[in-house]
Amino acid sequence: MDVRREPKIRATAVSFRIFDSIKDNDGLTLTELVEELDKPTSTVHDHLQTLTNLGYLIREGDEYVLSMKFLELGGHARTRSQLCRIAESEIQDLALDVGDHANLMVEENGLGVFLLKRKGDQALSLDTFEGKRVHLHTTALGKSMLAYMDEDRLDGIIEEHGLPGVTENTITDEAELRAELEAIRERGYATDDEERLAGIRCIAAPIRTSGDEVVGAVSVSGIKSRMRGDHFHERIPQKVESTVNVIEVNMRHQ
């Protein structure tokens, strides 16, 4: 998903390509990695040995998988986020209130990163997890942030990452996306109607500073059979916007 730029240190780039490939495939063998990276076997083997010795990879049979060291690094990065600390209890309360998934997302390098994810008592298991990166235009969270970005930033994200389709409902046309962003600004919140996951709908609203800078977004997501009617169009938007308002007020008084 990350846009590739010409690396200055190629060995480092190979290591991170190994991490990405192993993550995307939930584990790979040496042979599979050689094929995936199109690198000599000796080169890939040396990287795997080094990364394993450093504790970033572990071997399970013939496969290499990511170690829990990445969880340590991600946890450290998250705890440094003031937004995460301020929003955590509000996201938890929102999930318990609505019974579904409540999420906090931030934008980083033009992609959306799930910073917090909490489940209510009716929430089903989804593919999202804290740290997961997604294209902004595929989610209500991402679209709500895009809607309040300045034009130069929006143009840059579209140019860098494009508008790839994930489901048949994903917006992949730039003119259609811009019209959707205008509608989001008019109503104050964004919707996702099976645009990233089939059968899942979502409502999200952006978190903004007193200077109108977008710093994140809050959402509620759930299965389509529950997310409909007044629940989807009125109750959930009100709950999400109320949570955002509390987070924004708390941010101003930190």
Question: pLDDT digit string (tens) for 198-244?
Answer: 999 999 999 998 878 999 999 999 999 999 999 999 999 999 999 99
Q: Find residue 57's DSSP bridge partners.
A: 66
**Would the pLDDT of 3 be above 50?**
no
pLDDT of res. 24: 87
pLDDT of res. 4: 46
Report d(CA 152, CA 175) in Å as an integer. 16
Query: What is the DSSP track for 190-254?
Result: EEEESSSSTTEEEEEEEEE-TT--EEEEEEEEEETTTS-HHIIIIIHHHHHHHHHHHHHHHHHT-
Residue ranges of the chain that CATH labels 1.10.10.10: 10-67
Could you tell me which CATH class the domain 10-67 is placed in?
mainly alpha
Matching CATH number, 77-252, of 3.30.450.40, 3.40.50.150, 3.30.1520.10, 3.40.30.10: 3.30.450.40
Q: What is the mean pLDDT of residues 51-69?
A: 91
Percentage of residues in the chain with pLDDT exceeding 70? 94
Question: pLDDT digit string (tens) for 6-25?
Answer: 445 688 889 989 998 998 89
The SS3 of residue 30 is: helix
Q: What is the mean pLDDT of the chain?
A: 91
pTM confidence score: 0.76
